[in-house]
A = this chain, B = another copy of it.
Amino acid sequence: MAPSRSSVVPLSKRKIACKDCSLFQICLPVGISEEELERLEKIIQRRRPVKRGDHLYNSGDPFRSICAVRSGSIKSYVPTEKGNEQVTGFHLPGELLGLDAISQKIHPCSAKALETTSVCEIPYEQFELLSNELPVLHRQLINLMSKEIFEEETHMVLLGKKSAEERLAAYLFSISMRYQRRGFSATEYYLSMSRNDIGNYLGLAVETVSRMFTRFQDDGLLTVERKHIIIHNLDRLRHLAGAMPCKSGGNSFCLTRS
Which residues of chain A have a CB within 8 Å of any CB of chain B? 59-60, 62, 78-81, 84, 86, 88, 99-104, 106-109, 128, 131-132, 135, 138-139, 141-150, 152-153, 155-157, 159-161, 200-203, 243, 245, 247, 251-257
13 A-B pairs within 8 Å (CB atoms) are namely: A59-B252, A60-B252, A80-B243, A81-B243, A86-B160, A99-B145, A100-B149, A104-B146, A104-B147, A108-B150, A131-B138, A156-B156, A161-B203
Q: Which residue of B lies closest to A101 (CB)?
A: B146
Set of chain B residues within 8 Å of A142, measured between Cβ atoms: 102, 138, 141-142, 145
Set of chain B residues within 8 Å of A146, measured between Cβ atoms: 99-104, 145
Q: B78 contacts A150, CB within 8 Å?
A: no
- A149–B84 Cα gap in the complex (Å)? 22
Query: A249 CB to closest chain B CB, in angstroms?
Result: 12
Set of chain B residues within 8 Å of A251, measured between Cβ atoms: 60, 62, 106
